[in-house]
Amino acid sequence: MVLIFMPLLLGLCGSLILMCRESVKILYFPTICVGKNDWSRKMVTRRELLKKSLMITSLALIGKLALSDFTAQSREVRVFNYSYYIDPRVNEWFERETGIKVIYDEYESGEEALAKLQIGGGGYDVIIMPSEYLRDVINNGFVKEIDKSLVPNIAFIDESYFSNPYDPGLKYSVPYLGGTTGLGVNTVKVTENIDSWGKILEDMQFLGKYKKKISMLEEFPEVFGTVMIYLGLDPSRKENWNEETGKRVAEILIKQKPYIAGYYGASVYIPQLASEQLLIAHAWSGDVEMARRENSSISYVIPEEGALKWNDFAVIPRDARNIEEAYAWINFVTDPLISVINSVYTFYISPIKPSYLITALEKAWSQGLIEVSPETYLGNPAFNPPSSVANKLRYYTPLTQDILRIVEETRKKVLGEGVQTSLVIGGVVAAAIAAGIGGYYGLRKKKS
């Protein structure tokens, strides 16, 4: 009897598998199921049931593979970017236009992005990378060469970016946004004129007055480079990043440390500036403008010695899996209209050629996509630093492993060896452990 009913039982099981599998499609892949048979709504005849039973042997062998095929139809791109560094609408528009899901994670410090690239990308397909690390990640083979035919919008990038010192010719990267590093200051609560970096670095009377109301950037190369500018050393010259400079930087920061609130990333200092928990923050230009949206007392200040200027670039990690989708996302954010919208939202500088930039500004303004008029945009120093300031802005030299070692040793002297571990070295270890435990999809939070 068992032998007689076995084929029927197997056939019934096969049909149930198909029904369950189709139900999974309806629950998790609704767009895929549009216009296709819906087993939950359609009556299955006996003839169809018997026909399905003949497929059970094949289904048993290829079921797992077939189910993975449906998963593969759901395209996605995994992006790793600084916090507060994109207009939230951009990823929504991209998904709507391309059908590609964006898995979007954020970080606070460029060392975190570097750590991901050092292990092949940490599961990401696009990483927004600070310019100072570009040369190192390129030389070490951590990123793929860019196929410019897949990024046609690169034609809109200003020519000056093609001669940058980090990736000449843009062979491995595509410019995203840029800015400067100065101070966010509550000019109502802070009555003194901060005309020198020395005010927040070595003026003990000033530091005492605003004790625990001042923060420094979490990204330590920014701190190191800023102190160099205060000391009269050009951070764009490689020879200035040496052991002796490291000692001088450490001495200043060790004395300053008891007076500051901490070393913070944007997700901390922006809201704290706005709420007046902080009155002064070593900060990136666009972040200060974002805080100013919430508190009009905040101003962006560049002391007389000058400041760092920088650009961030989109790269495709060595082990990225969704290559076609990565190119689609990079090309999308390089579109002049999208770049301008991002620029206005973040208050960072777009890399688009001026003529296309103005056209895109006018279009975005006329369509109600931005809240800042073209005239206001072009007159804002966050987007367009005046010549008196621009002449005092300095790029980093490309940060080599030797320079990173000096920066790391300085950080340890200032922050100690305990809880404050290295984001450059410790971050790599932590990321490697996470990759081993969680696998390709593990231990990352989903942002969109």
Higher pLDDT, 428 or 347: 347
Question: Contact at 8 Å (CB) between 190 and 372?
Answer: no
Q: In the prediction, which pLDDT does 391 show?
A: 84
The Cα 140–Cα 56 span in angstroms is 50
CA dihedral (67, 68, 69, 71) in degrees, to 10, reads 100
Question: Radius of gyration of the chain from Cα atoms?
Answer: 27
Of 18-32, 298-312, 388-402, 404-418, where does mean pLDDT reach its minimum?
Answer: 18-32
The Cα 416–Cα 437 span in angstroms is 28
Residue 427 reports pLDDT greater than 70 = no
Residue 22 reports pLDDT greater than 70 = no
**Which is nearest to 57 in space by CA: 4, 10, 20?**
10
For 64, counting Cβ atoms within 10 Å of its Cβ (0-12 exposed, 13-18 middle, 19+ buried), the class is exposed
Name the amino acid, one letter, at 164.
Answer: N
Side-chain-side CA neighbours of residue 165 (13 Å): 13
Residue 104 reports pLDDT greater than 90 = yes
Q: In the prediction, which pLDDT does 437 show?
A: 28
Residue 89 reports pLDDT greater than 60 = yes
For residue 16, what pLDDT band results from cuts at 50, 70 and 90? very low
Q: What single string gives the DSSP state of each residue in 15-29?
A: HHHHHHHHHHHHHH-
Q: In the prediction, which pLDDT does 15 show?
A: 42
343: phi > 0 → left, psi -120 to 50 → alpha, else beta; which?
alpha
DSSP 150: G
For residue 417, what pLDDT band results from cuts at 50, 70 and 90? low
277 Cβ contact partners less than 8 Å away, ≥ 6 residues apart: 213, 261
Q: In the prediction, which pLDDT does 387 show?
A: 77
Q: In the prediction, which pLDDT does 46 show?
A: 30
Residue 72 reports pLDDT greater than 50 = no
Of 46-55, 64-73, 95-104, where does mean pLDDT reach its minimum?
Answer: 46-55
Q: What is the pLDDT of residues 193-217, one digit of tens each?
A: 999 999 999 999 999 999 999 999 9
Question: Contact at 8 Å (CB) between 330 and 102?
Answer: no
For 377-381, what is the mean pLDDT? 85
For 329-342, what is the mean pLDDT? 98
Helix, strand and coil in the chain, % to nearest 5: 50, 15, 35
Of 6-20, 180-194, 248-262, 292-306, where does mean pLDDT reach its minimum?
Answer: 6-20
- pTM here? 0.71
State the greatest distance between any 2 C-alpha atoms of the chain, in Å, as a whole number: 96
For residue 373, what pLDDT band results from cuts at 50, 70 and 90? very high
For residue 401, what pLDDT band results from cuts at 50, 70 and 90? confident
**Which is nearest to 110 in space by CA: 86, 87, 137, 88?**
137
Residue 218 reports pLDDT greater than 60 = yes
- Helix, strand or coil, per DSSP, at residue 202: coil
- Residue 167 phi/psi, 5° resolution? -145, 75
Q: In the prediction, which pLDDT does 226 show?
A: 97
Q: In the prediction, which pLDDT does 385 show?
A: 78
Q: In the prediction, which pLDDT does 73 show?
A: 56
Q: What is the pLDDT of residues 165-196, one digit of tens each?
A: 899 999 999 999 999 999 999 999 999 999 99
